[in-house]
Structure 1
Amino acid sequence: MKNIKVHAIVLALIIIAEMIGNVSFKIGVGTIVLLPMLYALIMGIFMAPKFLKVVNQKDMLDASSLIGITLMLLMARYGTLVGPTLPKILAASPALILQEFGNLGTVFIGVPVAIYLGLKRETIGAAHSIAREPNVALIGERYGLDSAEGRGVMGVYIAGTVFGTIFFGVMASFAAAYLPFHPYALAMAAGVGSASMMTAAVGSLSVMYPQMADQIAAFGAASNMLSGLDGLYMCIWMALPLTEWLYKKIYRLKYGVEPTGKDAAK
């Protein structure tokens, strides 16, 4: 009852967003799919003190403290998917599992770019992954969401929610039109651990290959499920340590000194 105002606002935003539903439209060879999560996020932003002032700073701090609990429930849900879907994962071929190594590309590309743009410890949260819900939970547990790493992961999470679905929808269409990849491979690549991004990409591919629509959806869903499950362990054991190591190397190259103080590795 302490945060009844926050809960009521969230419930209202969910109802409005779900009533709007999925909206899709074509741009050139691509199909853009807008999902309810995007509407809820945009409406939530305008609730902030700088805009409509529906919520105050205390409400925002209270809401941020509830993110960890919400994500804990989501991770529990991911855990329940492992057992029942294990036969499907094994039947999906090793390609679906090996593709998880492609997630490390965000580290090698994102860390140098982030440091070049002037980010410090925010780089760790922003560049270790594409920053979806499991990654937000990981950074929140490891560093805290009120830390520099937390600001980095939340910044990419919000940007991904707003622009990610649009980018994935267009990118999938252009990749299918101009690159020599099989539609199944593109469907697998769409599963990066984000339901909205995967749906946008699969929607575009299904429009371009209607005779393969069911198979494309199946490969996209299986790939997305794997990214949500074993992608988290990939981040824990490989991506996050690699990001920390690369951060120190690139920081030294740019500034000529080791990161110290609040910029040093924790």
Structure 2
Amino acid sequence: MNKKSVISLVIIAFIITIIAEMIGTKRLNIGIGTIVFLPMLFAVVMGILITPGALGKKIEGLRKVIGPDEVDLAGTFVMIALLPLGVKYGTLVGPNIVKVIQAGPALLLQELGNLGTIFLALPVALLLGLKRESVGATFSICRESALGIVGEKYGINSAEGTGVLGTYLIGTLFGTIFFSVLGSLSLSTGLHPYALAMATGMGSGSMMAASSGALSEAVSPAMKETVLAYAATSNMLTGVTGLYAELFLALPMTNFLYRKLEPILGRRKK
């Protein structure tokens, strides 16, 4: 591990974090709902712009700070940086543990819905020309637990790692916007706000924060804290139960379907 690359990466990440936090959370009312732009979204955009191949390719000074070595190292640092997020989930759940127990098995059974991404997304990925990247990109919605599984099993710099990181970044960029609008509109379905709050916990801290934040603004003030507690609990349990569902169900199923579908749907490359 290059010491210079580590120092450069940490300094750049720290500067981007400070700028993103100074921008803060922005809300845009579009009539049918509210789009929530979180600091994490701004941080990801800034990170993309300064990497080689984007804005960093055009600015000579940036190329000296962020190069291929730093980009390769960033994948490893992602795994480390996600650890404090799990601690934060615990601080949100603890004070509301009684309400969590009252929710019963609903929070545990919701993980089965995560398997739907395989059947919907894998054929599309193969038609687009992805190979083993499609496995990493489609065996889940590719959040923190998925990064850990792929990183340990295949390596974050593998084809599968490229797929899971690609979906992770796209989810951060567009998923937060989509789910913040969905959180505002979901009450019109007639479902109970607590059930909708559970649905926001799909294993993504950014998506959960955006959708539950929009949902909590749309319910009565008395329900606001409970909605956020259910959302945080659901998200935490998805990270726990989802880890095993992804490891023992989703990933083997995706590999099996890949072997069956790739010869039929996959594009042949010379």
Distance apart, 1:21 and its partner CA: 1.5
Deviation readout 1:216-262 (Å, 9 max, x if unpaired)? 11211111111112111111111111111121222243259xx9xx9
Deviation at 1:84, TM superposition (A): 6.4
- Structure 1 segments unaligned to the other structure (5+ residues): none
Normalised to the residue count of structure 2, the TM-score between the two structures is 0.85
User: Distance between the aligned counterparts of 1:85 and 1:129, measured in 2?
Assistant: 30
* Counterpart Cα distance in 2 of 1:40 and 1:75: 16
Distance 2:116 2:210 in 1: 21
Q: Moved runs in structure 1, 4+ residues, more than 6 A?
A: 78-81, 83-86
What's the offset of the Cα at 1:78?
8.3
Offset of residue 125 of structure 1: 0.5
Q: Distance in 1 between matches of 2:7 and 2:224?
A: 43
SS of the residue aligned with 1:138? helix
Decide which of 1, 6, 9 is 1:6's aligned counterpart: 9
Please say if 1:31 is aligned against 2:45.
no
- The alpha-carbon deviation at position 169 of structure 1 amounts to 1.0
* % identity of equivalent residues: 45
Partner of 2:183: 172
* CA distance, structure 2, for counterparts of residue 241 and residue 85 of structure 1: 37
Give the distance between the partners of 1:101 and 1:84, measured in 2 at CA: 25
Q: CA deviation at 1:70?
A: 3.6
Structure 2 distance, partners of 1:85, 1:133, is: 24
RMSD: 2.7
| Structure 1 residues 87-102: aligned runs within 5 Å | 90-102=101-113
Counterpart residue number, 1:133: 144
Over residues 82-132 of structure 1, what are the superposed CA-to-partner deviations in whole Å (9 max), with x where a residue is unaligned?
Answer: x96995554431001001111111111111221122211111100011111
Q: Quote the offset at 1:159 in angstroms.
A: 0.3
Structure 1 equivalent of residue 224 of structure 2: 213
Aligned CA distance change for structure 1 residues 123 and 86 (closer, same or farther; 3 Å):
farther
Q: Which residue of 2 aligns with 1:183?
A: 193
CA distance in 1, matches of 2:125, 2:95: 37
Greater shift after overlay, 55-64 or 138-147?
Answer: 55-64
Aligned length: 255
- One-letter amino acid of the structure 2 residue matched with residue 8 of structure 1: I
Q: Distance in 1 between matches of 2:226 and 2:89?
A: 25
Contact 1:187–1:220, Cα closer than 8 Å, also in 2:
yes
- Residue 210 of structure 1 and its aligned partner are, at CA, apart by 2.4
Moved more, 206-215 or 184-193: 206-215
The aligned counterpart of 1:238 is 249
